[in-house]
A and B are shown apart, each in its own frame.
Chain A
Amino acid sequence: DGGITQSPKYLFRKEGQNVTLSCEQNLNHDAMYWYRQDPGQGLRLIYYSQIVNDFQKGDIAEGYSVSREKKESFPLTVTSAQKNPTAFYLCASVSGGLAKNIQYFGAGTRLSVL
């Protein structure tokens, strides 16, 4: 059945290491988003992509990078430049048409620093 799959569920990063979070969707949605959630805060937008091979920075893009080579996939790389990467990361996609504002989320990846 259709949905958004994020992997891994838990991820640990060593100092100076880049790590990549996977996000795959089979909903045939054009737009995909990455958010970060910290305790006591709302979801903050990192990057988003409206179509393949195009993406825009969100509010907190520094220290992160993305790619959108396929419609189904929108991986997020947390680089060593991100000094405070410990958080819960959520990927979402948006359908078009009348429901264009409604986001469908994956189950999330919890990233911790060793």
Chain B
Amino acid sequence: DQQVKQNSPSLSVQEGRISILNCDYTNSMFDYFLWYKKYPAEGPTFLISISSIKDKNEDGRFTVFLNKSAKHLSLHIVPSQPGDSAVYFCAASAQDTGGFKTIFGAGTRLFVKA
């Protein structure tokens, strides 16, 4: 039972163009959504997040869009750069009895071609 799904295992984009990474979730209790970026042999690093009360959050070249009715969020990277090549994890968070519980998607590997 995957509560957070990233249906595209990989994505290839030309440098300078837009990269769009998608994520779907099933649990309406999630109230906070995050994107993490991971390089090989390193741990994931936080990239950008959005609260469920918003539909858009922007930070430089990165924008996250949230469509609550569709239970869908997306990460836009504009313009894409070769250094953006990494695995991107979508994550959804909700309050649990023991604190916050975060569920991660399987990741999308982004290749940005020079």
Contact = CB atoms under 8 A, between A and B. Distances in A.
Interface residues of B, number: 26
B98 A90 contact: no
Nearest to B3: A42
A107 B41 CA distance: 7
Contacts of A75: none
Interface of B is mostly: strand
Interface string B22-55: 0000000000101010000111111001000000
Interface stretch (A13-21, A63-71, A76-84, A97-105): A97-105
A108 B42 CA distance: 7
Contacts of B41: 107-108
Majority SS at the chain A contact face: strand
A40 B43 contact: no
Contact of B34 (A6, A41, A102): A102
A35 B2 CA distance: 16
Interface in A40-98: 40-45, 48, 50, 56, 90, 92, 94
A106 B49 contact: no
Contacts of B105: 42
A108 B100 contact: no
B32 A101 contact: yes
A94 to B, nearest CB: 7
Contacts of A107: 41-43
Given A35-B104, A103-B102, 10 more contacts: A31-B100, A41-B106, A42-B2, A42-B89, A42-B104, A50-B98, A102-B46, A106-B43, A107-B41, A108-B41
11 contacts: A35-B104, A40-B106, A41-B106, A42-B6, A43-B89, A45-B102, A90-B43, A101-B93, A103-B36, A107-B41, A107-B42
